[in-house]
A and B are shown apart, each in its own frame.
Chain A
């Protein structure tokens, strides 16, 4: 079963509105979560690293005031796309690393397809 749950899976919003995406780690604590964006036929691009109890770390070129990240608990990180525009339409995916006996594996959420009209 899924170890990282992402919600919603699909959202359509009007230009200028805000959209919140949730990412939850199930059965394990994630002090760090990662948010990716993927455009059609492109690779996953890391947007930011979400840190529990502290500020997120944004990758170069990602507007922190537009993509608000909150990691208020050890199992939940949220990404809010503020004042969304059509160019923000994309597939957003969260990931949480879980330490195993031999390696640390990154588990992905189901992804959120955002369409801004």
Chain B
């Protein structure tokens, strides 16, 4: 059974701080890793994807991947109250079909 684990939180950070969200996965053959943001009552929206070990930066967001440790993280710099949401980690294994496995999500609260 492929598993994607996330701390459900809530993770509470002050405005302007760095929020660090973590995700571990069990399938060592996993190839693609995605971070989605989901506001309450809304469907998920893709923030970032990463395929290779290391860091990938996009604006205030940085995704970090360590395949040896089976660990992927999302850093949000200069956190804003509008970043308050649930962040879902999704992992896709090898193969041609696109069926990612989602983590339970981490609730992030950015307080003014």
A binding-site residues for B, Cβ under 8 Å: 6, 32, 34, 41-44, 46, 49, 91, 93, 97, 103-111, 113
- How many whole Å from A10's CB to the nearest CB in chain B? 9
Number of residues on chain B facing chain A (CB within 8 A): 20
Q: Does the CB pair A46–B99 fall under 8 Å?
A: yes
Measured CB to CB, the residues of B under 8 A from A are 8, 32, 34, 41-46, 49, 51, 88, 97-100, 102-105
A93 touches B43 (CB 8 A): yes
- The number of residue pairs between A and B whose CB atoms lie closer than 8 Å in the complex comes to 41
A16 to chain B, nearest CB (A): 26
Contact A42 B43 (CB under 8 A): no
| Given A43-B102, A113-B41, 8 additional A-B pairs, CB 8 A | A6-B43, A32-B98, A44-B44, A103-B49, A105-B46, A105-B49, A106-B100, A108-B44
Instruction: Report the minimum CB–CB distance from A1 to chain B (whole Å).
Output: 12
Kindly identify which residue among B8, B42, B88, B97 contacts A44, using a CB–CB cutoff of 8 Å.
B88
Nearest B residue to A99, CB-CB: B98
> Could you say which residues of chain B place their CB within 8 Å of the CB of A6?
43
Q: List 8 A-B pairs, Cβ < 8 Å.
A: A41-B8, A43-B105, A44-B102, A97-B98, A104-B98, A106-B34, A110-B42, A111-B41
